[in-house]
Chains A and B, each alone.
Chain A
Amino acid sequence: MDNAQLLISGLANGCVYGLIALGFVLIYKATEAVNFAQGDFMMLGAFVTIGLTNTEYMGLPFWLALPISLMIMGALGYLIDRLIIRRLFGESQTAVVILTIALGFVIRFAAGLIWGHEPQTLQNPLAGKEIRFGGLVLGMEDVAVIVVTILLTWGLYVFFSKTKLGLAMQGASQNQLAAYYMGIPVKRVQGFIWALAGVVAGIAGILFAAKGSVDPTTGLLGIKAFAAAVIGGFGSLPGALAGGLIVGVIEPFASRYVAAGYSQIAPYALLLAVLIFRPHGLFSQVRVKKV
């Protein structure tokens, strides 16, 4: 029973890691650059929503604030690509990586200036409610996190496999040159991917802020999510989610059965093991190009 409880709360954490990891992979696949500000996007999404809903700020109704903050995050992702990243088109990947690290710092300080450095929680209708069945006591937020992640995953799956834009995004990430030849406006598609990564980070942030508290340094969680993405196989969307879930589940079990401090070490130990024994990640899509 104890284990089931641990599993559920681990899964709920893992969903948040997974969603951030998803953002990493989305951008990596589309542009071959790693956006190290992804964790800070998540934090920003959380604070934007807090700023819209919490009574000490704007106090909008929760369900109205959600779409607004997701739109803001999407627009932000798009604009960052449009105004900053695209300027570096043709520069080395390192330049883009450093730029995103700097961007992370900027977002962190900006959030600190606007919302302060104290931990804050998102006021939401689910807070404090519980679901009991069998002997399990589940926080309503944990359940919501898992349900939303499942829905989002399904939504993304449908989007990528069934819609024209989704297919074009896949194509542009698999073979950029061919995408150009097919008349796909690759740069615009990449802008949409940044927007999508912003929205996903926003959702992750809302979920995170609903089940715990955020402060401007929360974005550093992105490093753990990055580990999750690598464990899952960088470049595979299902892998990123699975990696997130694995990391999320490992943490509580490590601190329960090994020792308290090990919950922080376990994900990185797993990362090392994966890199040694399966360097492409657990769920990688690797294929040799035929000539």
Chain B
Amino acid sequence: MNEPILRIRNIESFYGPIMAIRGVSLDVHPGQIVSILGANGAGKTTLMKTVSGVMDPEKGRITFDGQQIQGSEPHKVVQKGIVHVPEGREVFPLLTVDENLSLGAYTLSDKGQIDHDRDLVFSYFPVLKERRGQEAGTLSGGQQQMLAIGRGLMANPRIMLLDEPSLGLSPLLVQEIFGILKRLNDEQKMTMMLVEQNANAALELAHHGYVMEIGRIVMDGAADVLLQSEDIQNFYLGVQEEGARENRRWKRKKTWR
């Protein structure tokens, strides 16, 4: 397999005195979609923030395309080609859809490139074109999520970090948005790192999956293998196992929030 574009090694991050990530290592290869699953508080969002430079790690290395980027300022990270589409959409509410997209391209200055990217975004999200003059705060939740993804695309990234794109959306909308993410990956070869609680949707989409639990990676594997795995089925997909086994493994005793 080709060299990973993003390589995370032994990252430790703190929220004040609380250790939110306890030594995480993972790889994302070009053209891949990598999903990170885990319950609330597992440290998924913290991991994303550490990669995008909003938080600085205490220890460990993050290598992007051969360069170490841990602890860089966020705008430097965006310039290198990593864009973070944050949890909860975080659009600029009083700016129009068009202006939001323009700010997505803040780190670019080539006007031709920006226009091309805008057309690309509109081709994947036609609804944004219809509403380009509307204030982003007046869009529906699903449209705001599309805008957040489109705004991320405008940075012309080499990898997108997507934090819970399904948050608070109806199953139908989740299907639509994940469909678009799949097309972006197929057609534009967009590399993605996806954090999700909706394990089923995330594993359907991804090539590779990691499972995080209280700041650590406890499991990883090809997405289709994970989908079949008993643990994943029990704890994330809600599949009930028939018949109780004698030896309960540690995972099964856990309480889930």
Q: In the assembled complex, which residues on chain B have CB atoms less than 8 Å from the CB atom of A63?
A: none
CA distance A181 to B75 in the complex (A): 7
A183 interface hit (Cβ, 8 Å): yes
In the complex the two chains form, what is the Cα distance from A291 to B102 in whole Å? 23
Cβ distance A218 to chain B, nearest Cβ, rounded Å: 34
Judging by beta carbons under 8 Å apart, are A177 and B95 in contact? no
Task: Tell me the nearest residue of chain B to A288, going by C-beta.
Answer: B137
- Cβ < 8 Å to B, chain A residues 162-209: 164, 167-168, 170-171, 174-175, 177-185
Does chain B have a CB within 8 A of A285? yes
Query: Could you tell me if B74 and A181 are in contact, using CB atoms closer than 8 angstroms?
Result: yes
- B92 and A174 contacting across the interface, CB-CB below 8 Å: yes
CA distance A179 to B77 in the complex (A): 13
Report yes or no: A290 in contact with B137, Cβ–Cβ below 8 A: yes
| Chain B residues whose C-beta falls within 8 Å of the C-beta of A175 in the assembled complex | 90-93
The contact of B144 among A164, A287, A290, by CB within 8 Å, is: A290
Q: A171 contacts which chain B residues (CB < 8 A)?
A: 92, 95, 100, 103
Chain A: number of interface residues, binned into ranges: 20 to 34
Is residue B27 within 8 Å, beta carbon to beta carbon, of the partner chain?
no
Residue of A nearest to B73 (CB): A185
Selected from B86, B99, B107, B138, the residue in CB contact (under 8 A) with A178 is B86
Across the interface, do B95 and A180 meet the contact criterion of CB distance under 8 Å?
no
Contact A291 B151 (CB under 8 A): no
Q: How far is the CA of A174 from the CA of B102 in the complex (A)?
A: 15
Residues of A contacting B78 in the complex (Cβ-Cβ under 8 angstroms): 181-183
B192 at interface, CB cutoff 8 A: no
Q: Is A87 positioned at the interface, with any CB of B under 8 Å from its CB?
A: no
| Per-residue contact bits, chain B 75-108, to A (CB 8 Å; 1 contact, 0 not) | 1011100011110101111110001101110110
Question: Is there an interface contact between B74 and A168, defined as CB atoms closer than 8 Å?
Answer: no
Question: Measured between alpha carbons, how far is A177 from B49 in the docked complex, in Å?
Answer: 11
**B141 an interface residue at 8 Å Cβ cutoff?**
yes
Instruction: Tell whether A289 is near chain B: CB-to-CB under 8 Å.
Output: yes
Chain B minimum-CB-distance residue to A291: B168
State whether A168 touches B83 (Cβ < 8 A).
Answer: no
- Do residues A170 and B74 form an inter-chain contact, with CB atoms below 8 A? no
B123 to chain A minimum Cβ distance, whole angstroms, is: 21
CB distance from B64 to the nearest CB of A (A): 14
Q: Are B75 and A285 in contact (CB under 8 A)?
A: no
Q: How far does the Cβ of B113 sit from chain A's closest Cβ, in whole Å? A: 14
B191 at the binding interface (Cβ < 8 Å):
no
If A164-B102, A291-B168 touch, whether A184 touches B75 (CB-CB below 8 Å) is yes
Whether A183 touches B88, Cβ cut-off 8 Å, given contacts A167-B99, A291-B168, is no
A251 smallest CB distance to B (angstroms): 32
- B93 in complex: contacting residue of A182, A183, A287, CB < 8 Å: A287
B197 interfacial by beta-carbon distance below 8 Å: no
Q: Mark B130-168, 1 if CB is under 8 A from A, else 0.
A: 000001011111001000000100010000000000001
A167→B102 contact, CB < 8 A: yes
> Which chain A positions have C-beta within 8 A of B85?
181
Q: Is B70 positioned at the interface, with any CB of A under 8 Å from its CB?
A: no
Q: Which residues of A lie under 8 Å from residue B140 when comparing CB positions?
A: 290
B141 nearest CB neighbor, chain A only: A290
Q: How far is the CA of A178 from the CA of B151 in the complex (A)?
A: 10
Chain A residues contacting B73 (CB-CB under 8 Å) are: 185
Instruction: Check: B52 CB closer than 8 A to any chain A CB.
Output: yes
CA distance A110 to B95 in the complex (A): 41
Q: A182-B155, A184-B75 are in contact. Are A168 and B106 (CB under 8 A)?
A: yes
A181: which of B54, B95, B144 is its contact (CB, 8 Å)?
A: B54
Residues of chain B within 8 A of A179, CB atoms compared: 92, 103
- Is B86 in contact with A177, judged by CB distance below 8 angstroms? yes
Q: Which residues of A contact B54 (CB under 8 A)?
A: 177, 180-181
In Å, the complex CA distance between A291 and B125 comes to 20
C-alpha spacing A177/B104, complex, angstroms: 13
Contacting residues, chain B, for A164 (C-beta < 8 A): 102, 106
Q: How far is the CB of A275 from chain B (nearest CB, A)?
A: 23
24 intermolecular pairs with C-beta atoms under 8 Å apart:
A164-B106, A167-B102, A168-B103, A170-B94, A170-B99, A171-B103, A174-B92, A174-B94, A174-B95, A175-B90, A175-B92, A178-B92, A179-B92, A180-B54, A180-B74, A181-B83, A182-B78, A182-B107, A182-B151, A182-B155, A287-B93, A287-B94, A291-B141, A291-B168
Task: Give me 9 other A-B pairs in contact (C-beta within 8 A), A170-B95, A170-B99 excluded.
Answer: A182-B155, A183-B78, A184-B75, A185-B73, A287-B94, A287-B137, A290-B137, A290-B141, A291-B168
| B contacts, CB < 8 Å to A | 52, 54, 73-75, 77-79, 83-86, 88, 90-95, 99-100, 102-104, 106-107, 135, 137-141, 144, 151, 155, 168
8 closest A-B pairs (Cβ-Cβ)? A183-B78, A178-B90, A183-B107, A183-B75, A180-B74, A287-B137, A185-B75, A174-B92
